[in-house]
Amino acid sequence: MTDERRPETPAESEGTTGLFTALGKMVKLLRERKGLTQREFGERVGYGPDAISAMERGVRVPRPELLEKADELLNAGGLLTAALPEVREAMSRARTRHPEWYRSYAGLEAEAVSLYDYSTMGVLGLLQTETYARAVFTQRHPPLDEETIERRVTDRLSRQQLFERWPPPECSFVMEQAVLERPIGSDEVHAEQLRRLLRIGRLRNVQLQVMPTKRHEHPCLDNSFTLLTPKGREQVAYLESQGYPRLITDREEVRILAGRYGIIRAQALNPHESLDLIEKTLEEP
């Protein structure tokens, strides 16, 4: 066990764990009766299979619009929509659930109106599938215990509700080509992750770009970093090295990183070329 102090999840703090677990079980039962796989069901309601899996296990809060679509699609006859008032109330009182050292950033990320990220070693947590995230945490050294792994996977997936907000935040992601070529977990996990990148990259509020390995010039060989602008506040930066996080609020430091990110975007492949490269990588044996 680690000595990391675990914050309560929203469901635990508000006593709604049973509600979300029951809803997840009902959705799974209705989906299976309808003869749909998690992927098929997810495609029809606008979610990936990893999100559907998390919801059916009760570790992800089902958003009201998903329950409304599911109720109609699965012929639930109002069984799922009957819980909408309780779900909306729980969401309105939900608190951020991440390790204490990460809470400041996670809170800002949850209310961001824009988010830009440059990734060098692996897929950004905000874009990871459930199986990819689990592989990342399973391979940590020193090893994490199973309870901590599951908790961190759940918390990572909970952040992805950022993409379900309306209006959505403006997002830009630039990743090194090596990230696409590194099969974390297994070939199957890797392929699923690439398909998720394609789905995210086609969202109207997202610009996803790849920095080719063969670029002769590169403005940032230091580390990954994230720039985000919380609603009504100034832009901040976040970076992490070997588990040591740093939230940057100094205007000059943020300005330097923002300028560097602009050059990175200019030197990377454009979004259409980047998605083509991801598709090509997915097709390679």
User: 128 and 271 in contact (C-beta within 8 Å)?
Assistant: no
User: Phi, psi at residue 48, to the nearest 5°?
Assistant: -80, 160
* Alpha carbons 285 and 283: distance in angstroms, whole number: 6
Given this model, what pLDDT does residue 93 score? 53
111-125: average pLDDT:
94
pLDDT band for 91, please (50, 70, 90 cuts): low
Whether 94 has a pLDDT exceeding 60, the answer reads: no
Given this model, what pLDDT does residue 65 score? 81
Whether 49 has a pLDDT exceeding 70, the answer reads: yes
What are the extents of the domains in the chain? 10-92, 101-124+158-283
Whether 103 has a pLDDT exceeding 50, the answer reads: yes
Of the options 3.40.50.1100, 3.30.70.100, 3.30.870.10, 1.20.140.10, the CATH number for the domain spanning 101-124+158-283: 3.30.870.10
Question: Encoding tokens for residue 127?
Answer: 């874009």
Give CA 108 to chain center in angstroms: 15
Whether 102 has a pLDDT exceeding 70, the answer reads: no
Whether 10 has a pLDDT exceeding 80, the answer reads: no
Which superfamily is assigned to 10-92 in CATH?
Answer: lambda repressor-like DNA-binding domains (1.10.260.40)
183-199: average pLDDT:
94
* Alpha carbons 129 and 135: distance in angstroms, whole number: 10
* Alpha carbons 126 and 31: distance in angstroms, whole number: 27
Range with the poorest average pLDDT among 107-121, 170-184, 229-243: 229-243
One fold for both 10-92 and 101-124+158-283?
no
149-178: average pLDDT:
88
Burial class (CB in 10 A: 0-12, 13-18, 19+), 118: buried
Given this model, what pLDDT does residue 161 score? 83
- Per-residue burial over 22-57, b if 16 or more Cβ lie within 10 Å, else e, is ebbebbbebbeeeebebbebbeebebbbbbbbbbbe
What pTM value is reported for the model?
Answer: 0.68
Whether 71 has a pLDDT exceeding 70, the answer reads: yes
Whether 80 has a pLDDT exceeding 70, the answer reads: yes
Mean pLDDT of the chain: 85
Between helix 64-73 and helix 38-45 the angle, nearest 10°, is: 110
User: 186 and 230 in contact (C-beta within 8 Å)?
Assistant: no
Range with the poorest average pLDDT among 13-17, 18-22, 198-202: 13-17
Question: Encoding tokens for residue 162?
Answer: 């950022």
* Alpha carbons 163 and 171: distance in angstroms, whole number: 9
Share of the chain above pLDDT 70, in %: 88
57-63: average pLDDT:
74
User: 123 and 178 in contact (C-beta within 8 Å)?
Assistant: no
* Alpha carbons 44 and 42: distance in angstroms, whole number: 5
Given this model, what pLDDT does residue 5 score? 37
